[in-house]
């Protein structure tokens, strides 16, 4: 993951503070949270038939997923996994456009499920990454 790209993307999509102090792992969690919140807001606005607010929320989710999550992938270093994630993000973007055009709550729910699964998987790797860093620092200290 390109840390600077994640920071720039996060700032660009207008999410709240905490970026500078956040580690790269936390930045991605914040992007997932922001996209999920935007989709939740879109769902509410869709049900209220507030078309302008629905469109604004879906546009916000699209920017977070496209510029934030997909934009922070390092496709050279990440190989097939990064490419697959990028394709999945592209699918989500298309589905969000469909949801907006057709006022389809089910599509918003589909994208929410996909993002939640990715977020949960991402959150699950944090302890392993932290343990590996601690072990590596320990090994380095004894060389």
Tell me the domain boundaries of the chain: 3-141
Please report where in the chains the tokens 């999945």 appear, as a residue.
88
Q: In the CATH scheme, what is the homologous superfamily, with its name and number, of domain 3-141?
A: Flagellar protein FliS (1.20.120.340)
pTM: 0.76
Give pLDDT tens digits for 26-79. 889 989 999 999 999 999 999 999 999 999 999 999 999 999 999 999 888 889
Q: CA 56 to CA 93: how far, in whole Å?
A: 14
DSSP per residue over 90-120, as a string? HHHHHHHHHHHHHT-HHHHHHHHHHHHHHHH
Q: CA 99 to CA 111: how far, in whole Å?
A: 10
Give pLDDT tens digits for 103-133. 999 999 999 999 999 999 998 887 655 555 5
């Amino acid at each position: 993951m390109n840390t600077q790209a994640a920071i720039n993307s996060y700032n660009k999509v207008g999410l709240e503070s905490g970026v500078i102090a956040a580690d790269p792992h936390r930045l991605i969690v914040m992007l997932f949270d922001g996209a999920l919140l935007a989709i939740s807001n879109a769902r509410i606005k869709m049900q209220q038939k507030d078309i302008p607010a629905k469109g604004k929320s879906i546009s916000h989710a699209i920017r977070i997923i496209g510029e934030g999550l997909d934009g922070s992938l390092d496709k050279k270093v990440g190989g097939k996994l990064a490419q697959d994630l990028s394709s999945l993000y592209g699918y989500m973007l298309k589905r969000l456009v469909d949801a907006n055009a057709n006022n389809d709550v089910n599509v918003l729910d589909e994208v929410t499920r996909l993002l939640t699964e990715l977020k949960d998987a991402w959150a699950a790797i944090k302890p392993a990454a932290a343990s590996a860093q601690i072990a590596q620092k320990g090994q380095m200290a004894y060389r």
